Chains A and B, each alone.
With several copies, the nearest count.
Chain A
Amino acid sequence: MDVLYFAWVRERIGIPKEKIDTEAATVADLVRELVAREERYAAAFADLSALRVALDQELSGFDAPLTGVREVAFFPPMTGG
Chain B
Amino acid sequence: MRVSVQEEPFDLGAEANRFAEGDTGSGAIVTFTGVVRDLAQGNLDVMEIEHYPGMTEKAIAAIADDARQRWSLADVLVIHRYGQLAPGDRIMMVATAARHRKDAFEAAEFLMDYLKSRAPFWKKEISGEGSDWVAAKDEDEAALDRW
Residues of A within 8 A of B (CB): 4, 6-8, 10, 54, 57-59, 73, 75-81
Name B92-124 residues within 8 Å CB distance of A.
Answer: 92, 101, 112, 115-124
Interchain Cβ contacts within 8 Å, total number: 69
Query: Which chain B residues border A73 with CB–CB below 8 Å?
Result: 52, 55, 120
The complex places the Cα of A39 from the Cα of B49 at a distance, in Å, of 27
Alpha-carbon distance between A81 and B123 when the two chains are bound, in angstroms: 10
Ordered by A's residue number, 8 sampled pairs between the chains whose C-beta atoms are within 8 Å are A6-B52, A10-B50, A75-B120, A78-B121, A79-B123, A80-B116, A80-B117, A81-B101
Chain B nearest CB: distance from A80 CB in Å? 4
Which residue of chain A is the closest to B113 with respect to CB atoms? Answer: A81
**Shortest Cβ distance from A70 into chain B, in angstroms?**
12
Besides the known contacts A59-B118, A73-B120, 20 further A-B residue pairs in the complex with CB atoms under 8 A apart: A6-B120, A7-B50, A7-B124, A54-B120, A57-B52, A57-B54, A73-B52, A73-B55, A76-B122, A77-B135, A77-B136, A78-B118, A79-B121, A79-B123, A79-B133, A81-B91, A81-B92, A81-B101, A81-B115, A81-B116
Choose one: A6, A57, A80; the contact of B58 (CB below 8 Å).
A57
